[in-house]
Amino acid sequence: MDIVTTETILESINDGVFTIDTDWRITSFNRAAEHITGISREDAVGLRCSEVFKSNMCEGRCPLAQTFSTGKNVINQSGYIVNLRGKRVPVSVSTALLKDSAGNVIGGAETFRDLSELEQLRKLRARERFGSIVSNSESMRKILHMVPAVAQSVSTVLILGESGTGKEVLARTIHGCSNQKQGPFIAINCGALPDTLLESELFGYRKGAFTGADRDKPGRFALARGGTLFLDEIGDISPAMQVKLLRVLQERQFEPLGGSVVEKTDARIICATNRDLKELVRQGKFRQDLYYRIHIIAMTIPPLRNRNEDIPLLADQFLQRFSVLNNKTIERFSPEVYACFYAYHWPGNIRELENAIERAVVLCQGNEIMLEDLPWEITQVLTSESAEEADPHDGAIRNLNGDSGSKVRKTLEDTQRRLILDALQRNGGTIAAAARDLGMHRATLYRKIRSLDINV
């Protein structure tokens, strides 16, 4: 049986690896390191690492210097190097000490992973944009293509989707594209109020209608005249309120509490719910006639777990917003954070992603969001795959190239494959058109197709 040597292993991996002695001179330089930097090992070995790597980490943030100083490994520190052609290459760096059999430090090891593909995915332009909604998702594309026609209609719209998917954002987008856009957008959460309070909020009341009613108060139907009324969580209203709401939707008129004069409304009605209205109708908990009255145009927003292509877009939007609000300069997410984002189920959808990033920005102490900045329930998806504390001796290289990195690469490849296949399908298999659609050079797309083994 052939003996697999350490040199063979280092030559077979895709991450760049080099080692240095205690004088900071490079003692080994693997094939991947040559490819990423453009520098041959013959030229690199014997030079100080700072003479080979032109990096933003060489001044003040050197991972190897930190490891020599503290004796602790650095895991996945992000930065960039400048290769032989002068191109900036984003990398993720990990380090460990090298010791002899007696435990004496004889040098250090550093691995660096090329993050160019991940950076390109982060910056991939949104194929679809309406108002504040941007998307690279095929499922969202179908919804957004309906917006112009729906916006010009006066028919009632029902928006379906799980909690946190952005139903109100879509409703505001429809309003902003409509003929009523100069009018008000009035929203009310029907599920958050008891019947008596909901009725007064919707229809308003007259002075003296009940104890404490010391003045007239217009309801939401009155306030929304000339604009749009958004009835959120309509699936949670009681049967009694369903009857009153049905009458208003049918007759376009209502009576304020304690009033004797019927008022009219011309507000465009958009309803939303995270519940299965068909099932509620079957159970007798939701009136069938009201269901058909609001179900004229239905739009279903897919959950975030079914539109992973949009995670980089949304995450970057939230990062920029909360960095400004918290007066911080945070540039990016670490690769492990993206791995968590892609692997997590997101039961709270976009709202949960937004909250997680707001928390991470508040806790972040550097210029990069790390795993420890995220809530535990999100990071636990990678618990079994996270990098161990690297053994400073014979286990250094193994731990610096652990399952966490494999998770990032696989997730990235799956997402890129899906994006490319979608682009090819939209453009009839034409490479040049698909490349323009994806915002990349045709040669780059050819290379990605080969590397991802896509059958054109």
CATH code for the part of the protein at 306-433:
1.10.8.60
φ, ψ for residue 77, nearest 5 deg: -85, 130
Between these two residues, 427 and 314, which has the higher pLDDT value?
314
Give the pLDDT score at 260. Answer: 73
Burial environment of residue 7 by CB neighbours within 10 A (0 to 12, 13 to 18, 19 or more): exposed
- Picking from 253, 241, 263, 246, the residue whose alpha carbon sits closest to that of residue 190 is 241
The three-state secondary structure class of 63 is helix
CA-angle at 291, arms to 290 and 297, nearest 5°: 115
| Most confidently modeled range among 58-72, 81-95, 167-181, 367-381 | 167-181
Task: Give the mean pLDDT of the chain.
Answer: 83
Work out whether strand 105-114 and strand 16-20 pair parallel, antiparallel, or are unpaired.
antiparallel
Give the pLDDT score at 388. Answer: 35
**Mean pLDDT, rounded, for 182-210:** 87
Q: pLDDT band for position 120 (50/70/90)? A: low
Among 33-37, 113-117, 350-354, 402-406, name the one with the lowest average pLDDT: 402-406
d(CA 74, CA 365): 16
> Which run of H or of E encompasses 186?
strand 185-189
Give the pLDDT score at 412. Answer: 64
Cα Rg, the chain, nearest whole Å: 29
Alpha carbon of 246 to those of 179, 250, 308: distances in Å?
Answer: 24, 6, 38
d(CA 185, CA 178): 11
φ, ψ for residue 299, nearest 5 deg: -130, 120
pLDDT above 70 (res 343): yes
Give the pLDDT score at 385. Answer: 42
Fold of 138-301: Rossmann fold (3.40.50)
Among 81-85, 106-110, 127-131, name the one with the lowest average pLDDT: 127-131
Between these two residues, 129 and 192, which has the higher pLDDT value?
192
pLDDT above 90 (res 313): no
Q: What percent of the chain has pLDDT over 70?
A: 86
Give the pLDDT score at 393. Answer: 32
Query: 374 with 364: CB under 8 angstroms?
Result: no
**Mean pLDDT, rounded, for 197-209:** 84
**Mean pLDDT, rounded, for 363-375:** 90
Give the pLDDT score at 123. Answer: 53
d(CA 127, CA 27): 47
Q: Domain map of the chain by residue range?
A: 6-114, 138-301, 306-433
Alpha carbon of 341 to those of 121, 132, 311, 326: distances in Å?
Answer: 14, 21, 7, 22
CA 339 to chain centre: 11
Strand positions, DSSP E, 21-123:
26-29, 54-55, 74-82, 88-99, 105-114
Copy the structure tokens of residue 327: 């007066």
d(CA 372, CA 50): 30
DSSP 8-state symbol, 303: P
d(CA 328, CA 323): 5
Give the pLDDT score at 406. Answer: 59
**Mean pLDDT, rounded, for 43-66:** 82
d(CA 32, CA 401): 13
**Mean pLDDT, rounded, for 4-11:** 68
Give the pLDDT score at 1. Answer: 37
The three-state secondary structure class of 285 is coil
Give the pLDDT score at 387. Answer: 36
Burial environment of residue 242 by CB neighbours within 10 A (0 to 12, 13 to 18, 19 or more): middle
Query: 155 with 295: CB under 8 angstroms?
Result: no
pTM above 0.85, yes or no: no
pLDDT above 80 (res 170): yes
Give the pLDDT score at 337. Answer: 87
Longest dimension (CA), the chain: 96
Q: pLDDT band for position 138 (50/70/90)? A: confident
231 pairs with which residues across the strands? Answer: 188, 271
Give the pLDDT score at 147. Answer: 92
**Mean pLDDT, rounded, for 256-260:** 79
Q: List the end-to-end C-alpha distance of the chain, in Å, as a whole number.
A: 41
Fold of 6-114: Beta-Lactamase (3.30.450)
pLDDT digits (tens, 9 = 90+) for 433-450: 887 777 666 777 877 888
Residues near 7 by beta carbon (within 8 Å), at least 6 away in sequence: none
